């Protein structure tokens, strides 16, 4: 627990955990404020946080870009769906297995990282995206093809997690686990090796880091987490089909960690929150307007996508280091206030 050092941080962590624990019980009034089911949103955010942590380890810490994480999430979702539906494996075994299978797939597609860097690796992982998508769609006997698979909600020893509230606790258990793991990873030998590779891989090799091993390891750890996110997602939405795991999801994951702040543990969290909330928040004015002019929603819903893109561009221009960096600036400002120079 050495990562929470000051009493100030300890206090706020307790507040955060208390809030997370009681949120499902107080979400009703918040729902009317946002005009949507906020508990569902919180669950989605949780799932994306786990996946974004995964990509952050790969891209933020090890400096390897991946455009295949959308498909890797799909591998996790399909793996746990197939294991539970066709194999009859209980959920709590299927989920870690799904993570391991995704890690394996991720490591295989990570092999090109031995030779490729930067944009070239991005293209190689994009190939992974398309190959996996094609397999999900056309390996009909295993995946059900384009109709997808219907998945049962998980049950633990007789308790079925089929409500948003019960699933919320399951998801946030994994969110906390993933966050602690990522935070601690940077303090271990592997984590330092990752960062060394990111900063200058030649120097890392010279000081004795096995670059190839750690690159593949990074792909494995990263895919494992995104696979877990996929498994959780599949059992929550209860339908798995290739449509959800397109290149757009991969781009979205990248956007999350870029907007949130690459290489910051908090960055993945901010990014996931931002990218999930923004489309919903943009829907609020839309719904207000449609109450006055019911027919306008056809026009406005197309505008929404444009505004979404615009906000992201503005963010990248004015805060290129991400939300985590902005948070730092604000914190430092108040720390020194009123003598903030």
Exactly one of 166, 176, 183, 243 binds other proteins (CB under 8 A); that residue is: 243
Start-to-end Cα distance in the chain: 33
- Asked whether the CA dihedral 173, 174, 180, 183 is positive or negative, the reply is negative
Q: How far apart are CA 271 and CA 253, in angstroms?
A: 9
231, 78 in Cβ contact below 8 A? no
User: Which helix or strand (DSSP H or E) is residue 302 part of?
Assistant: helix 297-318
- Other C-beta atoms within 10 Å of 43: how many? 25
166 forms part of the interface with other proteins (CB under 8 A): no
Minimum Å gap between C-beta 167 and other proteins is 11
Q: How far is the CB of 161 from other proteins (least distance, A)?
A: 14
Residues in the chain: 341
SS3 113: helix
Q: Is 69 in the site for other proteins (CB under 8 A)?
A: no
50 binds other proteins (CB under 8 A): no
CB of 97 to other proteins, least distance (A): 24
Find out whether 241 and 73 touch, Cβ atoms under 8 Å: no
User: Which of 8, 294, 317, 338 contacts other proteins by CB under 8 A?
Assistant: 294
Nearer to other proteins, 41 or 323 (CB): 41
Q: Considering only the stretches 98-106, 180-188, 240-248, 326-334, report the one whose residues sit in contact with other proteins under the rule CB under 8 A.
A: 240-248
Q: Quick check: 142 binds other proteins (CB under 8 A)? A: no
Span from 29-37, 119-127, 212-220, 322-330 in contact with other proteins (CB under 8 A): 29-37
DSSP state letter for 154 = P
Q: Which stretch binds other proteins (CB under 8 A): 61-69, 74-82, 86-94, 282-290?
A: 282-290
């Amino acid at each position: 627990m050495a990562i929470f050092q000051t009493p100030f941080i300890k206090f706020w962590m307790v507040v955060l955990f208390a809030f997370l624990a009681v949120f499902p019980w107080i979400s009703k009034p918040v729902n009317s404020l946002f005009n949507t089911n906020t508990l569902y949103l919180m669950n989605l955010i949780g799932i994306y946080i786990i996946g974004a942590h995964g990509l952050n380890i790969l891209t933020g810490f090890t400096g390897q870009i991946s455009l295949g994480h959308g498909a890797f999430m799909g591998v996790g979702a399909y793996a746990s769906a197939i294991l539970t539906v066709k194999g009859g494996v209980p959920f709590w075994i299927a989920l870690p297995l799904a993570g391991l299978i995704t890690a394996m797939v991720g490591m295989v597609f990570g092999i090109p990282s031995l030779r490729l860097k930067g944009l070239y690796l991005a293209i190689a992982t994009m190939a992974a995206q398309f190959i996996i998508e094609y397999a999900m769609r056309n390996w009909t006997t295993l995946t059900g093809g384009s109709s997808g698979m219907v998945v049962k909600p998980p049950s633990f020893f007789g308790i079925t997690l089929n409500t948003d509230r019960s699933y919320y606790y399951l998801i946030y258990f994994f969110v906390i686990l993933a966050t602690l793991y990522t935070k601690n990873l940077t303090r271990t030998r592997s984590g330092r090796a990752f960062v060394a590779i990111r900063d200058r891989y030649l120097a890392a090799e010279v000081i004795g880091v096995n670059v190839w091993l750690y690159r593949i390891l990074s792909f494995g750890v990263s895919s494992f987490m995104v696979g877990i996110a996929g498994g959780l997602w599949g059992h929550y939405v209860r339908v798995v089909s290739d449509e959800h795991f397109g290149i757009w999801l991969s781009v979205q994951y990248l956007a999350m960690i870029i907007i949130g702040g690459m290489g910051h543990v908090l960055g993945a969290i901010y990014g996931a929150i931002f990218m999930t909330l923004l489309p919903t928040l943009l829907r609020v004015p839309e719904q207000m307007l449609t109450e006055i002019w019911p027919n306008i929603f056809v026009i406005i819903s197309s505008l929404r996508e444009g505004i979404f893109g615009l906000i992201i561009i503005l963010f990248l221009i004015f805060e290129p280091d991400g939300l985590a960096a902005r948070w730092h600036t604000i914190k430092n400002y108040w720390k020194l206030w009123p003598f903030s120079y």
